[in-house]
Structure 1
Amino acid sequence: MRIAMIGSGYVGLVSGACFAHFGHDVVCVDKDAGKIDRLRAGQMPIYEPGLDTLVEENSKAGRLSFTTNLADAVGDADAVFIAVGTPTRRGDGHADLTYVYAAAAEIARSIRGYTVVVTKSTVPVGTGREVARIVGETQPAAAFDVASNPEFLREGAAIEDFMKPDRVVIGVESDRARDVMSTIYRPLNLIQTPMVFTNIETAEVTKYAGNAFLATKISFINEIADLCERVGADVHDVARGIGLDGRIGRKFLHPGPGFGGSCFPKDTLALAYTAREANAPQTIVEQVIEVNNTRKKKMAQKVVDFCGGSVAGLTVGVLGLTFKADTDDMRDAPALDIVPALQAAGAKIVAFDPEGMDEAGKVLKDITFTKTAYEATTDADVLVVITEWHEFRGLDPRRIKQAMRRPRIVDLRNIFDPEEMRELGFAYEGVGRPKPRS
C-alpha cells in the first residue's frame, strides 16, 4: 500500500517508520523544511529507543521517505493519515483542531483517486465527521472515505507497542475502506492481533476513554500512597495486593509525583470539555485532573517539609526532568511544577537527565546541568528523584553519600530501598512508604 503520513512528529514518525517496516511505501510529510532535511540525514527530532535504526533501515530500503510537498505525497496514496498536533486550546481545555482541519482541506485539494483519509491524531468525538465534511466540500468530486485509527503508543516503548499491540482500533463505515485498513494492518492480523472495527465515533471515544482510565489509576494509587504515609502502610504492597486481582491489573499502579506527557493531561481535559458540551459530564475524570494538578504542586512542598520547613540557600540535586523515562519529552512533566517551586523557595537546582536536558533548558531557567548523575549529587543538601530512569537504579548509594553535603534523599519514584538507604546513613523519604518507627 502507498501511505502518506501528514505530520512527522512523535506519532507520525513512529507510525510511518513502522508502516514502512510492514512493507508499505510511506511518505512522511511536514511543513518544517529543517525537520525534513534532518530526517533525510538520519537525525531524529525526538528521542525514542530504536527509532533511528528503524528509520535508517527503511529509508535505505526505499520504503520510507520525507517531503514537504503534501500534494505529491497524497496524490499517489491509497491512505492518508493525519498525525498532526492537537494541543490543548487556551481558555477552555478543548483540543485545538486547527492543524487537523487545515490538513483535511489540503488533502482534499490533492486527492486524485480513491483515498482513505485516516485521523491518527488524538481527536474528540465528532472530528471524523467534520473531516469528511471538509474534504467533501473542498473537492466534491473526490472519491474518499474517512476512518479513525487512534494510536496507543507509550513514549519510550512506542515501536514495540506499534509492532505488537494489545489491539488495533479502526473506526470505518464502508467495506472498501475496511478492506484498505485491513490490508495496511495485515502483518498484525498474521500474528492474531485483535482488530476492533467500530463506527468512527466509537473509535474516537475509545482513545479518550482508555487514556482517562489509565490516568485515573495513576491518580487513585497516588491518593492511596498519601493514605499509606499517614497510617504506616506500604503502597507498593497495597498495589501488588490489588493488582494481582485480574479485574484490576498491575499496570499503572506505580505511585509518583503525578502524570504528565503529551497525552494524559491534554486528553483528560479534552474529554471533560467534550462531555460537558454533550451534557454528559465526566465528574470522575474532572476530579482526576484536579488531583493530578494538585499533586505535582504538593511534591515541592514535600521536599521543603523534609528539609525542616525551608530550602532557602540549599543546593537541591535533581535526578530526572522528563515526564517519564526513555523520552526527552518535557510536556507537562512534574519537574515543571517542582523545580520552579523549589527555586521560588530559595533553592539552587543542580540537575541531570540522560536525554532531556536540552528540552528542559528551553522551559526551566537558572538550572545548573551536569554531565552525569553523580555530578548532580555533589555538595547537594538534598537529592530529589523526579524521573525513574533505569540508570538511576544502578547508582552506588555509598558514592552518592560521599558526594553530598548532607545525605538526604526525597525519592518521588521509589527507586531506592528505604531500609538500605537508612542503614547507610541517609535521611530518606519515598512516596507511600512507611516511615521508621521511633
Structure 2
Amino acid sequence: MKFGVLFLALLAIFPLGLLLRSTPVLRKPFWICFGALPFFAAAIPLFDVGLLSWAGRWVGFVYGLQISIVDILAASALFAMPRGKLPLWCKLPFLFYILAAALSLLQAAEPVAASFGVLQFARIFLVMVVVARASTSDPEVPLLMLKGMAIGIAAHFVAVLYQRFQLHLPQTMGLFIHQNTLGMAAHFVLFPHLALLLAGYRNVRYLVTTVVATIVVVVFTASRAAVGFSVIGLGTLFVTQALAGLTQRKMAVGFAALASLLIVAPLAISTFSNRFELNPLGESQYDERAAFNRAASFILDDHPLGVGINHYVHVARDLGYSERAGVIGFEGNRNNIVHNAYWLTAAEAGYPGVLAFCVMLIVPLFVAWRTGWRMRHTLEGNLLLGFGVTLLVVYLHSFYEWVIFAREIQYLLTMTMGMVFGIALRLRAPAAEGNPLPMKAMRLNAQ
C-alpha cells in the first residue's frame, strides 16, 4: 500500500505544479499549509512514506528512507515557480555539509542506515531552496508561512491545555511525541511574530494571540532549556529593537510584556513544581547529559572522521562507549542520543562534518542579523532580526538538545533559512542598484 501511496504522490507533483502556476488564488492557502505542516507531522498517519524502514531495528534520528508531504509540495512549488536561480553562496554551506555527511558513509558500520540521514538532509535542502526562491520573488510568502506556523502552534496550544488540565501531565508535548520537540518548535513561531508586533505590523490581534499562546505552550512543556532560552531570546529581541530605535509601539509592548511576566511567572513556577515533584532532579548524583557528552567525546577521540551519520547510538551502546562514559545501563538511557547537536555531529561526521555543520548554521544567522540591521527601519528588516534571534536561540538550545535533527525541526529550520535568504536577496538587489524597494515590499513596510 505504501508504494502505491508514494507512486500517487509522485504523480501528483506535476499536475499540482501546473495548478499552482495557472491558479493564483491557490498561492495563499498553499504557503499557509506549507508553513503549518511540520507542526502536524506526528499527527498525520501518512505524513511520511517509507521506501525502506528499519523501525524497531535501528536507533537514530531517522530510521528509514522516507518522503514526506512537505517534500511533495516543495517539488510541486519548485516546478510552478518562474525560472530563476539561488546564488551559490546561499547553497554552498549546506551542500558542503551534505557532502561531509555522505563521506561519513565510508566510516559507517551500516551504510544503509547512514544513507537515511544523508537523504533526510537532501530533502530539507530542497525545502530551503524552494522557500528561498519563493521568498525572493514574492514578499508575501514569508508572512503566509508564518501564518501557517501560527495555525500549527494554535493546534498545539489546544492540545497542551488538554494535556495539562485534563490529563494532568507534568510535561506536555502537544501533538509531538516529546516536549523537547515542542519547546524547540516554539522558537520558530515566537520571535518572528514578536518582531512583527514590535515593528508595527497592523494585524495586532493575530500577533498578540500568537505570541501569548506560544509563551503558554513553552511554559507548559516544563522544559528548563525551552523556557530559559525563550527568556534569553525575548531579552535579546527587545534589546535589539530598542537599539534600532524606540517607538510608542515598542514601549507599549515592552510594558505589556513586563505585566504579562507577573502573570506568567506563578504559572511557570507551578508547572515546574509539578514536574519536579513527580520527577525530582538527580543531577548531583548523575548528570545524564554530561555522560552522553563524554561518550561522544570518546568516540571522536577514536574516530576523528566520525563513525557514520545516524550511528551514534549503535556505536556508543554496542562498542562500549556509553559504559565507559558512565551512562546508566538502562535500555532507555543506552538507546538515547547525546543531548547536544554539536557533539552528535562531531561523533557521527567527525571534525570535517562538525565544521561544515557550523558553517551551514552561521551563514543564514549572519545574513539575518547583517541585512536586518541595515534595513531595521523597514518591516522586513525587523522580520529578519526576528529570524536572527530565532536562529541564535535554536543554535544555543542545541547545546542541550539533539532535536534539531528531528524531521519537524529540520523542516522549520530550513524554512526559516530559506525565508532569511529570500528576504535578504530581495532587499539587497534594489539597494545595490540604488533603486527604491519594490512597491509590494513598500506596501508591507507600511502595514
TM-score (structure 1 length as normaliser)? 0.25
Q: Which has the larger strand fraction?
A: 1
- Using the size of structure 2 for normalisation, the TM-score is 0.25
**Structure showing greater Rg:** 1
